[in-house]
C-alpha cells in the first residue's frame, strides 16, 4: 500500500471515529493533516502499511478520548511555546524515585526543594514495574502499565505529574524499548508456545544465526553478561539478549511490536509524562554483518513514534539515549529529510567524556578537536548535557581524534581509566572499574562526580587546600554543563557533592555492577543543611556541601538570566593558546557570549585574539564583575568566566 493511500484511509478512519464539532477532535485531525505524512512515510520504510495503519488509528482514537482535559490544555500551551525545553530556564534533575524520596508521594513532598533549586525538568529513573530480583536498576520492565509496587500506583504518578506541572516542572520517564524482562507477559506467552508472542522476540533453534551475528556484535556487559544470546529451556531456543540474560530484545520488524509501544507511549503521555527517554534506542534494529546499532530503521521507527506522539500529545518530546560517536549522534535528531522529526533531545556523551578527559590531562586540545567534529543540530532540538549519570563512563576517545592531537587512542583510554580510579600517579580521583575488556585491557569507570573530581579524596585527607582545589575543579566542570547550551542534567545529590556509595557490594543482586557506586541515596539532612547559613566551626564535610550547593545555585541562577544560552544556537568550541584553556563561543542573536574555562591547575593568560572578537568592556556573569578586557585576562586554576559585552 502506498503512503498516500494509507494516509487517506487513516484520515477517513479518524474522521469517522471522531466528532468534528468537538474542539479536541478537530485539533487532532488538524495535527494529523500536519504530521500524518511524516508518520506514514517513516512507517513505509519499515512495515507493510496495510498491516499497521488501521491498528494504529484505533489506538490513536482511543488514547485521544482518554486524554485528560488538563493535558489537552497543556498541548495547546506547548504548541505556542515549542522551544520550552531549549530555554535557558530549563534546568534538569535526574534521580531514582526511591533513592530520592521513597515513592511518588515522597517526591510530591520534595517538589518545593526542586523548585528552590531552580529545577524545571525532572527525570525519574525507571519507575515502571521491573522483574523481581536483579533488574538492571529497573531497566528490565515486566509491566509498562504499573509502577514498581513500593513506588505507588499509576494514579499516584498522574497526581505527581499534575503537581509538578503546577510548579512549572516537566516530567521525564524512561521508555525501555529495546527489551523487556523475561517475566513480561509477552515473554511468558512466548515461552508457553504462543506463536504471536514468539514473533515479538528473536529466537533461534541453534547457534547458527547467533554465531553469525556475534562476529560483528560488540558486548555491552562482557563481565557479567557475556554474549548477546541466551539459551532458554522453556523456549527451546537462543533468545537475543543484548544486555543481561533476563532482558529480552524485542523484534521491531514486527508491526505488532510497533503498535504495542505506540499504545504504551499513549498511556504514559495520558498520565502526564512530558518527555520519554528512549533507552538504548540505538540497538533496536538488527542487521547481519553490522554492530546492530544505529541502523537506518532505528531512525525511521523513531520518526514514526515521534509523529504518532506529536499527533496525539503535542506537548510530549523524545530524548534519545544514544551513547554513540560524533559521526552517528546527529541522526538521532534527524538529518536530511528527517531533520527535526526524530528525537528532540539527545545526550551529549562526547562532551561529558571530553570534560573529564580535559581535566585529567590538564589539556583542552583533544576536547576542542573532537567537539569541532559535531555538525550543527536542527535548531528545534537540544543536547542533554551532563557530567555524570547513573551509568558508568566509557572512555569514548576516538582513535583518529587522539591521533590528530598527537595521542594514541588506546593508551589515552587506558590513562583515563587509570586516572579516574586513582591509579595514575598524582591522581586524586576515586572511581571504580567497570567491565574490563580482557582483549584490550580497557575498562570503563563508575563513580560520583565528587569521587571523580577529587572531592572524596580531599575530604578523606582532611586537607583544606586540597578540598579548595577539588571544589573549584568540580564547579568548573559543572559550569561547562550549565554553560554549553542544551538541557543541563544535574544528577541527584550532585548539588551537595554526594560521594560514592559502597553498600551495593553487600547486595548480591548488585555487587557485580559497580554503577551502583554512583547511585547513592539522597542525604536529606545534608541537603537541607547546605541551604542554611554556614555555622562557624562547621566540619569540612559540611562546609564542602555548603560551598558546592552555593556554587551550583549561582550557576543555575546565572544561566537562567542569560538569553544567549538558548539551545537553538550551537556552541563553537576552541582551545586557547595556553594549554588547558577551553573557550565556548555562543554567537547568539540576543547577544554574543564567550565562556572561558581553565581545566589546568596552573593559572593562564587568555589574550583578546582568543575571544571570538569580544573586546572592550565586558561583564563576567559568574563573578558579577565588569571590566575592560584590554589585552586579555588571567584565569586562575579551574576558574570559569562567562563573558558578554557590558
Ligand atoms: C541504558 C541505561 C542503562 C541500562 C541499559 C539497558 O543504557 O542507561 O542503565 O543498563 O540501557 O537498559
8 A C-beta contact, residue 564 and residue 535: no
Query: Residue 390 gets which letter from DSSP?
Result: S
Q: For atom 2 of ligand 1, which residue has the closest CA?
A: 279
Percent composition of the chain: helix, strand, coil (DSSP 3-state, to 5) = 45, 20, 40
Single out the residue of 328, 336, 304 nearest to residue 318, CA to CA.
304
Yes or no: say if 63 and 75 are a contact pair by the CB < 8 Å rule.
no
Summarised one tens digit per residue, pLDDT across range 139-192 is 999 999 999 999 999 999 999 999 999 999 999 999 999 999 999 999 999 999
Is 223 a residue whose pLDDT tops 90? Answer: no
Which residue has its alpha carbon closest to ligand 1 atom 11? 280
Domain extent for 621: 571-645
The pLDDT value given to residue 183: 98
Beta bridge partners of residue 487, listed in sequence order: 384
Which pLDDT score, from 0 to 100, does residue 577 have?
79
Atom of ligand 1 nearest to the CA of 178: 12
Residue 455 clears pLDDT 90, i.e. is over it: yes
C-alpha distances in Å from residue 104, one per residue of 95, 122, 127, 158, 489? 12, 13, 9, 10, 21
Mutate to test the pocket of ligand 1, among 99, 279, 393 (most ligand atoms within 8 A of CB): 279
Q: Is 617 helix (H, G, I), strand (E, B) or coil?
A: strand
The residue whose CA has the least distance to atom 4 of ligand 1 is 139
**Is 583 contained in some domain?**
yes
CA of 283 to the centre of ligand 1 (A): 11
Q: What average pLDDT score do residues 523-529 get?
A: 98
In the reported structure, the alpha carbon of residue 442 is separated from the centroid of ligand 1 by a whole-number distance in angstroms of 20
Between CA 97 and CA 150 the distance in angstroms is: 10
Name 150's bridge partners. Answer: none
The answer to whether residue 625 sits within a structural domain is yes
Q: Quick check: 148 and 178 in contact, CB under 8 A?
A: no
Q: What is the pLDDT of residues 278-337, one digit of tens each?
A: 999 999 999 999 999 999 999 999 999 999 999 999 999 999 999 998 889 999 999 999
Q: Whose CA is nearest to atom 8 of ligand 1?
A: 391
In the chain, the percentage of residues whose pLDDT exceeds 70 is: 100
Please give the Cα distance from 25 to 14 (Å, whole number): 9
Buried b vs exposed e over 605-617: b needs ≥16 C-beta within 10 Å? ebeeebbbebeee
Task: Give the domain CATH number at 636.
Answer: 2.60.40.1180
71 C-alpha to center of ligand 1: Å? Answer: 29
Does any domain span residue 605? yes
Query: 115 in a domain, yes or no?
Result: no
Mean pLDDT of 628-641: 96
- Across residues 402-425, what is the average pLDDT? 98
Q: Whose CA is nearest to atom 12 of ligand 1?
A: 139
The pLDDT, as a whole number, for residue 439 is: 87
Cell 559521526 belongs to: 327
Residues in CB range of 86: below 8 A, 6 or more apart:
380, 381, 382, 566, 567, 568
**pLDDT for 167:** 98
Beta strands in 292-431 (DSSP E): 317-320, 345-347, 382-386
As a whole number, mean pLDDT of residues 382-390 equals 97
Look at residue 282 and tell me if it is in a domain.
no
**Which amino acids are annotated catalytic?**
279, 321
Total Cβ atoms within 10 A of residue 13:
17
**Is 419 inside any structural domain?**
no
The cell 556509595 sits on which residue? 501
| 280, 320, 386, 394: residue to mutate for ligand 1 pocket, most atoms within 8 A of CB | 280
Closest atom of ligand 1 to CA, residue 137: 9
Span 568-621, pLDDT tens digits: 999 999 887 778 999 999 988 878 999 999 999 999 999 999 998 899 999 999
Going from the Cα of 434 to the center of ligand 1, the distance in angstroms, rounded, reads 14
Query: In angstroms, rounded to a whole number, what is the distance separating the alpha carbons of residues 575 and 571?
Result: 13
CA of 490 to the centre of ligand 1 (A): 18
pTM for the predicted model, two decimal places: 0.97
Res 225: pLDDT: 85
Which stretches of 104-194 are assigned E, i.e. beta strand?
Answer: 121-124, 128-130, 141-147, 170-176, 179-181
The answer to whether residue 620 sits within a structural domain is yes
What is the number of domains present in the chain?
1
Read off the pLDDT of residues 548-558 as tens digits, 9 standing for 90 and up.
Answer: 999 999 999 99
* CB-defined site of ligand 1, < 6 Å: 136-137, 139, 176, 243, 279-280, 321, 390-391
Is residue 505, in this structure, part of any structural domain at all? Answer: no
Cβ–Cβ under 8 Å, residues 348 and 373: no
Amino acid at each position: 500500500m502506498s503512503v498516500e493511500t494509507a494516509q487517506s484511509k487513516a484520515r477517513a478512519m479518524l474522521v469517522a471515529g471522531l466528532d468534528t464539532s468537538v474542539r479536541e477532535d478537530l485539533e487532532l485531525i488538524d495535527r494529523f493533516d500536519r504530521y500524518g505524512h511524516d508518520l506514514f512515510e517513516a512507517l513505509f520504510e519499515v512495515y507493510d502499511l496495510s498491516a499497521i495503519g488501521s491498528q494504529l488509528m484505533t489506538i490513536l482514537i482511543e488514547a485521544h478520548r482518554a486524554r485528560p482535559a488538563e493535558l489537552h490544555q497543556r498541548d495547546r500551551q506547548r504548541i505556542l511555546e515549542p522551544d520550552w525545553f531549549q530555554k535557558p530556564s530549563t534546568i534538569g534533575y535526574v534521580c531514582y524515585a526511591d533513592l530520592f524520596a521513597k515513592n511518588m508521594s515522597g517526591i510530591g513532598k520534595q517538589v518545593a526543594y526542586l523548585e528552590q533549586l531552580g529545577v524545571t525538568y525532572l527525570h525519574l529513573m525507571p519507575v515502571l514495574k521491573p522483574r523481581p530480583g536483579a533488574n538492571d536498576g529497573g531497566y528490565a520492565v515486566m509491566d509498562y502499565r504499573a509502577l514498581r509496587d513500593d513506588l505507588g500506583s499509576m494514579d499516584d504518578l498522574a497526581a505527581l505529574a499534575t503537581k509538578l506541572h503546577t510548579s512549572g516542572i516537566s516530567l521525564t520517564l524512561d521508555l525501555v524499548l529495546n527489551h523487556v524482562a523475561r517475566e513480561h507477559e509477552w515473554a511468558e506467552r512466548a515461552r508457553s508456545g504462543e506463536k504471536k508472542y514468539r514473533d515479538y522476540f528473536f529466537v533461534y533453534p541453534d547457534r547458527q544465526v547467533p554465531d553469525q551475528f556475534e562476529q560483528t556484535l560488540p558486548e555491552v556487559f562482557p563481565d557479567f553478561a557475556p554474549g548477546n544470546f541466551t539459551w532458554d529451556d522453556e523456549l527451546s531456543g537462543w533468545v537475543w539478549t543484548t544486555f543481561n540474560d533476563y532482558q529480552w530484545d524485542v523484534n521491531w520488524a514486527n508491526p505488532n511490536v510497533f503498535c504495542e509501544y505506540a499504545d504504551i507511549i499513549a498511556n504514559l503521555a495520558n498520565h502526564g509524562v512530558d518527555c520519554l527517554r528512549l533507552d538504548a534506542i540505538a540497538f533496536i534494529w538488527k542487521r547481519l554483518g553490522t554492530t546492530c546499532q544505529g541502523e537506518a530503521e532505528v531512525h525511521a521507527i523513531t520518526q514514526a513514534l515521534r509523529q504518532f506522539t506529536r499527533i496525539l500529545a503535542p506537548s510530549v518530546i523524545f530524548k534519545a539515549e544514544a551513547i554513540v560517536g560524533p559521526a552517528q549522534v546527529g541522526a538521532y535528531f534527524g538529518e536530511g529529510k528527517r531533520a527535526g522529526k526524530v528525537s528532540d533531545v539527545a545526550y551529549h556523551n562526547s562532551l561529558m567524556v571530553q570534560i573529564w578527559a580535559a581535566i585529567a590531562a590538564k589539556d583542552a586540545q583533544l576536547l576542542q578537536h573532537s567537539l569541532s567534529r559535531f555538525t550543527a543540530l536542527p535548531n528545534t532540538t537540544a543536547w542533554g548535557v551532563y557530567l555524570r549519570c547513573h551509568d558508568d563512563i566509557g572512555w569514548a576517545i576516538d582513535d583518529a581524534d587522539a591521533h590528530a592531537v598527537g595521542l594514541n587512542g588506546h593508551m589515552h583510554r587506558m590513562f583515563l581509566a587509570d586516572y579516574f580510579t586513582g591509579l595514575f600517579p598524582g591522581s586524586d580521583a576515586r572511581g571504580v572499574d567497570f567491565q574490563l575488556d580482557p582483549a584490550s585491557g580497557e575498562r570503563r569507570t563508575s563513580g560520583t562526580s565528587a569521587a571523580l573530581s577529587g572531592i572524596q579524596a580531599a575530604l578523606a585527607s582532611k586537607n583544606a587546600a586540597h578540598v579548595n582545589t577539588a571544589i573549584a575543579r568540580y564547579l568548573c566542570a559543572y559550569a561547562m554543563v550549565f554553560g554549553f547550551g542544551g538541557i543541563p542534567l544535574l544528577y541527584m545529590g550532585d548539588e551537595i557533592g554526594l560521594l560514592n556509595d559502597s553498600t551495593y557490594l553487600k547486595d548480591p543482586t548488585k555487587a557485580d555492577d559497580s554503577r551502583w557506586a554512583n547511585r547513592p541515596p539522597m542525604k536529606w539532612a545534608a541537603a537541607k543543611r547546605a541551604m542554611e547559613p554556614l555555622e562557624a566551626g562547621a566540619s569540612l564535610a559540611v562546609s564542602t556541601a555548603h560551598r558546592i550547593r552555593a556554587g551550583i545555585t549561582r550557576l543555575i541562577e546565572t544561566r537562567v538570566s542569560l538569553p544567549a544560552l538558548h539551545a537553538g544556537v550551537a556552541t563553537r568550541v576552541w582551545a586557547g593558546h595556553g594549554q588547558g584553556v577551553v573557550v565556548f563561543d555562543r554567537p547568539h542573536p540576543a547577544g554574543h557570549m564567550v565562556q572561558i574555562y581553565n581545566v589546568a591547575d596552573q593559572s593562564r593568560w587568555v589574550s583578546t585574539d582568543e575571544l571570538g572578537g569580544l573586546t572592550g568592556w565586558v561583564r563576567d556573569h559568574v563573578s558579577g564583575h565588569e571590566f575592560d578586557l584590554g589585552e586579555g585576562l588571567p584565569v586562575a586554576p579551574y576558574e570559569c568566566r562567562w563573558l558578554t559585552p557590558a
